[in-house]
Amino acid sequence: MPRWVRVASTGDCPPGNLLAVEGDDQRIVLANVEGDFYALVDQCSHQEFPLSDGELTGDRLECIYHGAEFDLCTGRAMRLPAIRPVKTFPVEVRDGDVFIEI
């Protein structure tokens, strides 16, 4: 049964940044794009390195290990070598706190 879990305050992840968080024993990467938050599983679908080590490039997250890119909204792999998507999670901001539906 999905439920909402608080994973950070908005100040923990300023615009243009990524933040590794945990929710229900899952590693998740938060991304802040100009105040809009996105959440993806913190594991690249190429060789399972942490996506939280990567960089934001517009509305994509780039894995620094081999250069794959993922769409922040859908988790879709947008650039090789990744071909499989990564899981995304619904995100809500409530009173300065970031919640993820897990």
Considering the complex, what minimum distance in angstroms separates the CB of residue 37 from ligand FES? 22
Beginning with the edge strand found earlier in the chain, give each strand of the sheet holding 97-101 in spatial order.
4-9, 97-101, 91-94
Considering the complex, what minimum distance in angstroms separates the CB of residue 48 from ligand FES? 7
* Between 13 and 63, CB nearer to ligand FES: 63
Which residues here bind ligand FES, judged by CB under 6 A? 44, 46-47, 49, 63, 65-68, 81-82
Q: Work out the number of other CB atoms within 10 angstroms of the CB of residue 6.
A: 13
Backbone phi, then psi, for 53, in 5-degree steps? -80, -5
Residue of 10, 8, 9, 29 whose CA lies nearest to 19 = 29
* Between 64 and 73, CB nearer to ligand FES: 64
* Between 29 and 98, CB nearer to ligand FES: 29
